[in-house]
Amino acid sequence: MQQLMINHHSHLARFYVLALLMVASLTPVYAEEIKTTVEDQQELSLTVYNQDLALIRDVRNLKLNKGLNKIAVREVSAQIRPETAIITSLSHPNSLSLLEQNFDYDLLTPQQLLQKYVGKQVRVIKTHPTTCAEKEVVATVLSANNGVVLKIGDRIETGAPGRIVYDQVPDNLRDRPTLSILANSKAGNKQTLELSYLSGGLNWKADYVAKLDKAEKYLDLNGWVTLNNQSGASYHNAKLQLVAGNVNRVHQPRAIQHRDVRTMKSMAADNIAEMAEESLFEYHLYTLGHKTDVLQNQTKQVALLSASRVPLNKEFMLQGNQHYYYNRYGVIADKLKVAVFVEFKNEKKNDSSGNSQFIGEDRIDHTPKDETIRLKLGDAFDVTAKKKQTSYNKESAFGKYKHAASSSYEIEIHNAKDEDVVVKVLEPVPGDWKMIESSLKHDKVNAHTVQWLVKVPAEKRVTLSYKVLVRY
């Protein structure tokens, strides 16, 4: 029995050794981690979309070993989308094959370092309060949640009783965001590698300042691109490109609206030295004419364009509300706001300068070239209106309609300016409607909107009266 037990244990020992040999043969063998920093950078380009998204192309020179290499690409964006990362060898095509990649975003801080040492030993240096003599003891970190719990000898202590000394920084704790790559290289020499990836934390918008001439017939235009970097990394000496247009994304980002770029650019093509435009699929791509630095937590502005003496049209508009057609009302408003809009197209001439005052601002979305830009500047001071309902009668409803009513209205427009104006009156009429009476010519803009163009002489009042039948 004893002999059988010995033989049995011997078989186990031989099997154990064999298993160790098999595990060892499966363990990757590669040299020490190869670190690459911005010092190795040869080229850097940023393509920024206006959806909190950027494509980053980072070219670096790096000495690789033949066989397996563990590469640590430091100073990548903290908001990198690691699933989009692609690394290729530009100098040795098809020589590099990727096996594994990890994004290490656990950054080195005192708290994170303490967390990594839970269950491990550290050294604690205590200082005597009177003699200032230092004493070093070995402690085991039991917990680092909401403070620290240490085991020192046979005692459990909370809080840090002194300076904590660590033997080393764990490999998975980085001082900067790092992309770790395990790759096999057929060539063991210096190579030029290109890393490209998508990142959040970068977006842009375009802002414009328009200056109207005294006659309010032309405007001068200056445009700036405002770039915001919250990606967690800085980009030095980078080629900067901007994409106008909304690309499709699986997860809808927070909507970012901005002023238009393309239409303004076509107005002043001869004046642009900073940005060049080209088509990119169904979008537009703008390239800065020089390399620039885009630093972390920086808002950067780049000159986009300037245009002078752009012809414009000014429009006064009074917008109604459809709920007045459902019920009986008396005086709707004694002083209605008349909105002021300006419109302009892609024309360019010279203009004169003069004193400037702020008159308003607006926000628009992307606008293709050759289309009209329409901006609301505010409400007119010298053009006002009064509106009242003069009658309301319920009518017979039939067929698919359950309700019907006819109502009459008066809109008095007062022009206190020393020049004639034309006010566009837009009334949204609900349901199935029919204009019964109107003192001025009207147009049916669409199924639920009627429009009048009311000419009001200087320092005069004009009253628009109409009656409408509504079924719903």
Say if CB 257 and CB 211 are below 8 A apart: no
Q: What is the CA radius of gyration of the chain?
A: 36
**Residues written for the chain:** 472
What sections of 225-277 are H helices per DSSP? 262-267
Beta partners for residue 435, in sequence order: 468
Between 414 and 2, the more confident residue is 414
Tens of pLDDT, residues 437-467: 999 999 999 999 999 999 999 999 999 999 9
First-last CA distance in the chain: 101
Least confident residue range of 96-110, 207-221, 352-366:
352-366
Least confident residue range of 229-233, 248-252, 274-278:
248-252
Amino acid making up residue 84: T
Which string of DSSP letters, residue by residue, matches 208-226? EEEEE-TTSSEEEEEEEEE
Tokens standing for 356? 């400037």
Would you state the pLDDT for residue 253? 42
Amino acid making up residue 279: S
The arithmetic mean of pLDDT across residues 222-233, rounded, is: 89
Tens of pLDDT, residues 83-111: 899 999 999 998 999 999 888 776 777 88
Would you state the pLDDT for residue 439? 97
Say if CB 88 and CB 193 are below 8 A apart: yes
Q: Is 405 a residue whose pLDDT tops 90?
A: yes
Least confident residue range of 14-23, 279-288, 419-428:
14-23
Q: How far apart are CA 41 and CA 61, in angstroms?
A: 7
Q: Is 134 a residue whose pLDDT tops 50?
A: yes
The CATH class given to the 53-106+174-199 domain equals: mainly beta
Q: Is 35 a residue whose pLDDT tops 50?
A: yes
Would you state the pLDDT for residue 471? 94
Least confident residue range of 280-289, 354-363, 400-409, 430-439:
354-363
The arithmetic mean of pLDDT across residues 58-82, rounded, is: 93
Q: Provide the pLDDT confidence category of residue 362 given band limits of 50, 70 and 90.
A: low
Would you state the pLDDT for residue 102? 86
Say if CB 454 and CB 462 are below 8 A apart: yes
Nearest to 181 by CA among 273, 72, 83, 288: 72
Would you state the pLDDT for residue 198? 92
Q: Is 27 a residue whose pLDDT tops 50?
A: no
The arithmetic mean of pLDDT across residues 185-194, rounded, is: 92
- pTM over the 0.75 mark: no
Q: Is 224 a residue whose pLDDT tops 70?
A: yes
Tens of pLDDT, residues 318-346: 999 999 999 999 888 888 889 988 777 64
Q: Provide the pLDDT confidence category of residue 265 given band limits of 50, 70 and 90.
A: very low
- Give the residue extent of every domain in the chain: 53-106+174-199, 110-165, 313-471
Would you state the pLDDT for residue 234? 93
Least confident residue range of 111-115, 119-123, 158-162:
158-162
Would you state the pLDDT for residue 147? 86
Q: Is 381 a residue whose pLDDT tops 70?
A: yes
CB-CB neighbours of 191 under 10 Å? 19
Would you state the pLDDT for residue 293? 94
Mean pLDDT across the chain? 80
Q: Is 416 a residue whose pLDDT tops 70?
A: yes
Say if CB 421 and CB 341 are below 8 A apart: no
Between 421 and 218, the more confident residue is 421
Would you state the pLDDT for residue 2? 41
Residue with tokens 């390399």: 291
Would you state the pLDDT for residue 431? 92
Residue 190's alpha-carbon distances to 91, 162, 378, in angstroms, are: 9, 47, 62
Would you state the pLDDT for residue 8? 43
Least confident residue range of 72-81, 85-94, 340-349, 381-390:
340-349
Q: Is 350 a residue whose pLDDT tops 90?
A: no
